[in-house]
Amino acid sequence: MAIHRVGRTAFAYIGLLCILGLEGLCMQAEVKKSTFGAMPDGTTIYVFELQEGALKARVMTYGARLVSLEVPDRNGKVADVVLGYDSLAPYLSDPKTYFGAIVGRYGNRIGHGTFVLGGKRYEVPKNDGDNSLHGGTIGFDKRVWTAHEIPHGVELTLISKNGDQGYPGTLTSRVRYTLSAHALKIEYFATTDADTVLNLTNHSYFNLAGEGEGNILDNVLTIPADRYTPVNAGLIPAGELAPVAGTPFDFRTPTAIGKRIDQDNEQLKFARGYDQNFVLDASTDGQSMHQAARVLDPKSGRTMTVATTQPGVQFYSGNFLDGTAHGKHGHVYEKRAALCLETQHFPDSPNQPTFPSTELKPGQTFHSVTEYIFSTEQ
C-alpha cells in the first residue's frame, strides 16, 4: 500500500487565499461537544459540532459518522445535505445503509470472503451474499471510537485487535474531520503491528437539494475517469480496467445522473443503477490531491467538488434505498434519494494482483485525504 502524503495541487489556491487574508477563507472553525445517546451497555456516544460561517458539520463517536452537514444554497438558504437519523437508536438498528460512517477494516467488497496474504489464507465474514462488505458483520461503522477536539475539528481513534473480523494484525486507525475554507476535509491514518489489508472510506449519502428533498436523478455529475472496474453479478471486479467511452459510465463531461441510469446495460442491471469503482488516473503516485468528482444540484445551485489522494471513487446512486429507512424529520428515503462518492482503493484488491495494493506493513503509516468543497452556481 502506498504511503500517502498530501502534495501541492490546484487546490492549494485555498491556502493561498487564506495567506492573502481574504475574508471568510481562514476562519477558525468552532467546535462544540455534546451527548447523542448511549449504547446498550451504557457507553456514552458524543457528537462534535463543527462550524465555520454557514458551513456546519456534526460527527459522532458511533461509527465515526458524519451525522449532518449544513450547506447554503445560491440564495444563502442552509440545508442539511446528508442522509441520516435524528437520534442514536435508528443508527443502532440499521444494518445496511451505513449512513455517514467510516467503513473498514476493508471498505467495499472482498470476493468470497477470503484473501491470501503472505502465503496464508484468511476468512472474513460473508455479509453480502458470498462476499464480505465494509469490513464484515461488525465493521468499523458499528464501533465506538474515542474522540477529542483538534484545531478546526475532531480526531477519532479506533483500535482493531488482531483477528478482529478475521483480519490479521492489530490496527490503529485515526480519522480527522475538519472544516476550513468552505470545505469538509476527512484525513485518514493507520498503523499495524503485522501485515494486513486496509481500505478506509466514508459512506455519506449526499443530496445537495437537502436530505429528504426528492431524488438525485437530475443532479449533474462529472467524474474525470477514463476507466472503471466492471463487476460480475455479485458486484466483484473481474480485474479489468475498462474504458468508459461509449458506455453509461462516461461522466468525463457533466451529465445528469438519470440520463442513462435505466439503459439496457448489464453493469447497470447488476447494480440496479450505478455502483461501480472509477479509476482516477491522476492518482498513480498515491500522494497528490486530484479531483475525483463534481456534483451540481440545479435546483439549489449547490455544487460539491470531491478531491482525494485515493486511486478510485465508488459512485453509488442509492439503488438499495427502499423506503424502509425513516430518516431525519421523519423523511422516507426512497430509491435514489441520495448518492455516495466513496474515495478509496478498488473493490476486492486483496484478490486482484493488478490493482493498487491495499497491504499495510509494520513500520508504515497509511495516510489519505479527501475534501468535499462546496460552492454555488446561479
> Quick check: is 318 in a domain?
yes
For the stretch 118-137, pLDDT in tens is 999 999 999 999 999 999 99
> Quick check: is 1 in a domain?
no
Per the CB < 8 A criterion, the answer to whether 376 and 72 are in contact is yes
> Quick check: is 217 in a domain?
yes
pLDDT bucket at 304, cuts 50 / 70 / 90: very high
Distance, in Å, from the CA atom of 133 to the CA atom of 267, rounded to the nearest integer, reads 19
Of residues 287 and 173, which shows the higher confidence score? 173
**Mean predicted confidence (pLDDT) in 352-374:** 97
374 is written with which cell numbers? 462546496
> Quick check: is 5 in a domain?
no
Q: Which domain holds residue 54?
A: 10-376
**Mean predicted confidence (pLDDT) in 74-94:** 98
List 4, 342, 345, 367, catalytic entry: 342
Percent of the chain scoring above 90 in pLDDT: 89
203 classed as catalytic:
yes
151 is written with which cell numbers? 484545531
Distance, in Å, from the CA atom of 289 to the CA atom of 114, rounded to the nearest integer, reads 32
Distance, in Å, from the CA atom of 147 to the CA atom of 61, rounded to the nearest integer, reads 7
**Mean predicted confidence (pLDDT) in 275-289:** 80
Q: Is 270 exposed, middle or buried (0-12, 13-18, 19+ CB in 10 A)?
A: middle
Residue 92 to residues 45, 138, 143, 340, Cα–Cα distance (Å): 12, 12, 10, 21
CATH of the domain at 90: 2.70.98.10
342 classed as catalytic:
yes
Of residues 68 and 288, which shows the higher confidence score? 68
Distance, in Å, from the CA atom of 251 to the CA atom of 271, rounded to the nearest integer, reads 17
> Quick check: is 4 in a domain?
no
pLDDT bucket at 181, cuts 50 / 70 / 90: confident
For residue 71, pLDDT beyond 80: yes
> Quick check: is 48 in a domain?
yes
Q: Would you state the pLDDT for residue 299?
A: 96
pLDDT bucket at 12, cuts 50 / 70 / 90: very low
This prediction has a pTM of: 0.92
**Mean predicted confidence (pLDDT) in 158-176:** 98
227 is written with which cell numbers? 476507466
**DSSP secondary structure string, 240-260?**
--EE-TTSTT--SS-EEGGGS
106 is written with which cell numbers? 476493508
pLDDT bucket at 16, cuts 50 / 70 / 90: very low
pLDDT bucket at 286, cuts 50 / 70 / 90: low
Domain count, the chain: 1
Q: Would you state the pLDDT for residue 287?
A: 74
Residue 327 to residues 15, 28, 205, 258, Cα–Cα distance (Å): 36, 31, 12, 23
> Quick check: is 135 in a domain?
yes
Q: Is 97 exposed, middle or buried (0-12, 13-18, 19+ CB in 10 A)?
A: buried
Residues 6 or more apart whose CB falls under 8 angstroms from that of 356 comprise 1, 2, 286, 311, 345, 346, 349
List 4, 203, 345, 367, catalytic entry: 203
